[in-house]
Structure 1
Amino acid sequence: MTANVWAYRIGIDYLAGDLTGYGVEALDGIIGKVDKHSDEVTAAFLVVDTGMWILNDEVLLPAGLVTRIDHTAEKVYVDRTKEQIKAAPEFHQDENLGNADHRDALGRHYLAHMPFGVPPA
């Protein structure tokens, strides 16, 4: 069975509010704010505006990386480090958002960097 990093994990309350503008925290700190998100069942994602943190100002994170959403604090927590996110295939919203090859490359990257003991989505 292949893990689907493009689906929210069971128990993640992603429908309780609009995630746009929520802060996003990696395992080792803040990476940016949610610019766009999708809650499509097997193709869910977050587009995160990273500001000047990396050369490209946006990253695409599969929803399966989300470990918790705090709607009160407006924060989304993901189970990858800043370096793992920075090392992902470069993302350009205009070019890559609907691109299946880019999505597959991102999925492979994040599955290869799955933290020990974390169950797949």
Structure 2
Amino acid sequence: MEINLAQCFIAVDDHDKALGFYRDVLGLEVRNDVGFEGMRWVTLGSPTQPGVEIVLEPPLADPNATESDRQAMAELMAKGHLRGVIFRTDDVDAMFERIRAAGGDVLQEPMDQPYGVRDCAFRDPAGNMIRFNQPR
């Protein structure tokens, strides 16, 4: 029996700003853009991984959520506590320079890690931590 990752979800508070990062800076392709009941979901993926998608979702996709629920989610998002994604690349230093040149919010410059990768980290426009690693 086979099992594969199909989708992962990243909460964003501004889909257009998120697209500026994930599509325009990282080069992911938009596969779907859906609105429903005042909310929006955008699905993106790497052209080299057609079976794996990232879904940019509203921070609280619950029409019954209270205002205090929404405020709590906004506070968690602002602190970067909701999601994180790790991308693999064949040139982490070039990826770092590309994102930094585009104004990316740098959390960690490229460095060799004791667990066998060279990596760097950024925050996306919503505050989520996004890491890029390259096997050593």
Query: TM-score scaled by structure 1?
Result: 0.28
- The structure, 1 or 2, with the larger RCO (C-alpha pairs under 8 Å, 6+ apart) is 1
Structure exhibiting the larger radius of gyration computed from Cα positions: 2
Higher relative strand content: 2
Query: TM-score scaled by structure 2?
Result: 0.25
